[in-house]
Amino acid sequence: MGRVGKGRNILFPSLKILNSLFYDNITRILEPLNPKNKMKLLTKIILVLFIIVSLPQYLSRFNPAYAFSVGDEKKVGEELHTMVRKEFRLIDEPDIIQYINELGNSTLEVAGSQYFDYHFFVINNKELNAFAAPSGLIFFHSGLIETLENEGELVGVIAHEIGHVVSRHLADRIKKTSRISAATMLGVLVGIAIGGGPLSEAIIAGSAAAGQTAALSFSRLDEEEADRLAFKWMQDQNRNPSVMVDMLRKIHNINRYRQGNIPPYLLTHPGPDIRMGYIQDLILFTEKKPYVQFDDFPFQRFKSRIISMTKDPMQLISNYRNAVLSMEQESSEAAMAHYILSQAYLAAADYVNALKELQKTISIYPERVILKTDLGVIYLKSGNYKMAITQLQEARKAGDNSAYTIFNLAMALEKTGQLQEAAEYYEELLPQMSDYSKLYYQLARVKAALGLEGEGFYYYGYYYLYEGNLERAEAHFTKAVSLMAADNQMKAEAERMLKKIKGFKTEG
Q: What is the pLDDT of residues 273-326, one digit of tens each?
A: 788 888 898 888 888 888 999 999 999 999 999 999 999 999 999 999 999 999
**CA 353 – CA 342 distance, rounded (Å):** 7
Instruction: Tally the residues of the chain.
Output: 508
Which residues make Cβ contacts (< 8 Å) with residue 310, sequence separation at least 6?
Answer: 91, 124, 126, 142, 146
Cβ neighbourhood burial of 131 (10 Å; 0-12, 13-18, 19+):
buried
Closest to 169 (Cα-Cα) out of 228, 104, 97, 85: 228
pLDDT band at 269 (very low <50, low <70, confident <90, very high): low
| DSSP codes, 257-273 | TSTT---HHHHHS--HH
Residue 56: φ, ψ to 5°: -65, -30
| CA within 13 Å, CB half, 297 | 15
What is the assigned CATH class of domain 311-366? mainly alpha
The pLDDT, as a whole number, for residue 74 is 83
Beta strand ranges found along 55-146 (DSSP E): 119-123, 130-133, 137-141
Split at pLDDT 50, 70, 90, the class of 426 is: very high
Predicted confidence (pLDDT) per residue in 150-164, tens digit? 999 999 999 999 999
CATH 1.25.40 domain range(s) in the chain: 311-366, 436-508
**pLDDT, position 255:** 66
pLDDT at residue 37, rounded to an integer? 59
Which CATH fold topology does 436-508 show? Answer: 1.25.40
Q: Nearest-CA neighbor of 127 among 142, 112, 113, 114?
A: 142
CA angle 491, 407, 399 (to 5 degrees): 120
pTM of structure: 0.81
Average pLDDT, the chain: 81
Give the pLDDT of residue 184. 42
The tens digit of pLDDT for each residue in 191-247 reads 543 444 444 444 434 444 334 333 333 367 888 899 999 999 999 999 999 999 998
Nearest CA among 218, 174, 187, 168 for reference residue 66: 174
Helix, strand, or coil (residue 397): helix
- Tell me the per-residue pLDDT of 325-370, one tens digit each, with 9 for 90 and over: 999 989 999 999 999 999 999 999 999 999 999 999 999 999 999 9
pLDDT of the residue at 31: 58
Q: Using CA atoms, how far apart are residues 306 and 321, in angstroms rounded to an integer?
A: 18
